[in-house]
Amino acid sequence: MSAQENQEKRFEQLARTNPLFGSNKLKLGIFGSNMSAGASLSTMDGILQLNWPNTAHLARLADDMKFEAVVPAARWRGFGGESDPNSETFETMTWAAAMAASTRYPSTFATVHVPTLMPAMAAKQSATIDHISGGRFTLNVTMGWNTAEMNLFGGGMLDHDDRYEAGTEWITLLKRIWTEEEAFDFDGKFYQAKDVYLRPRPIQPYPALMAAGASSRGRLFAAEHADVAFTAMSKRDPDSMRANVEDYLKLAWDNFGRKMSIWATANVVIGDTDEDAQRLFDHCVAKGDQVAVDNLFSSLNITNQSLKPEILQMLRQDFIVGWGGIRIVGSKESIVDQMKQLVDVGLDGVLLTFPNYMEGMERFKEEVHPLLVEAGLR
Whether the CB-CB separation of 291 and 80 falls below 8 Å is answered with: yes
- What is the DSSP annotation of 155-214? S----HHHHHHHHHHHHHHHHHHHH-SS-EEEE-SS-EEEEE--SSPPSSSS-EEEE---
Q: How many residues does the chain have?
A: 378
pLDDT of residue 1: 66
Domain-embedded: residue 377 = no
Q: How many domains does the chain have?
A: 1
pLDDT of residue 158: 77
pLDDT of residue 306: 64
Report which of 224, 212, 225, 163 is spatially closest to residue 190, judged by C-alpha positions: 163
Report which of 104, 100, 124 is spatially closest to residue 112, judged by C-alpha positions: 124
Q: DSSP character for 305? A: T
Domain-embedded: residue 339 = yes
Q: Give me the average pLDDT of each 10-residue run along the chain (378 residues).
A: 76 94 97 97 96 98 98 93 95 98 98 94 98 98 82 77 93 97 96 96 97 90 96 91 96 94 97 98 97 90 74 91 95 98 98 98 98 98
Domain-embedded: residue 376 = no
Crossing angle for the helix pair 119-133 and 92-102, to the nearest 10 degrees? 10
Its pTM stands at 0.94
Domain-embedded: residue 374 = no
Cα distances from 167 to residues 7, 118, 140, 279, 280, in angstroms, run 21, 11, 12, 43, 40
Report which of 154, 165, 142, 9 is spatially closest to residue 75, judged by C-alpha positions: 142
Whether the CB-CB separation of 281 and 230 falls below 8 Å is answered with: no
Q: DSSP character for 105? A: S
Phi/psi-derived region of residue 66, left when phi > 0, alpha when psi is between -120 and 50, beta in every other case: left
Report which of 184, 182, 227, 185 is spatially closest to residue 206, judged by C-alpha positions: 227
Find the domain containing 340 and state its range: 3-366
Domain-embedded: residue 269 = yes
pLDDT of residue 39: 95
Domain-embedded: residue 176 = yes
Whether the CB-CB separation of 112 and 92 falls below 8 Å is answered with: yes
Domain-embedded: residue 373 = no
pLDDT of residue 123: 98
Whether the CB-CB separation of 70 and 29 falls below 8 Å is answered with: yes
pLDDT of residue 300: 82
Cis peptide before 200 (omega within 30 of 0): yes
Strand partners, 78: none
Domain harbouring 341, CATH code: 3.20.20.30
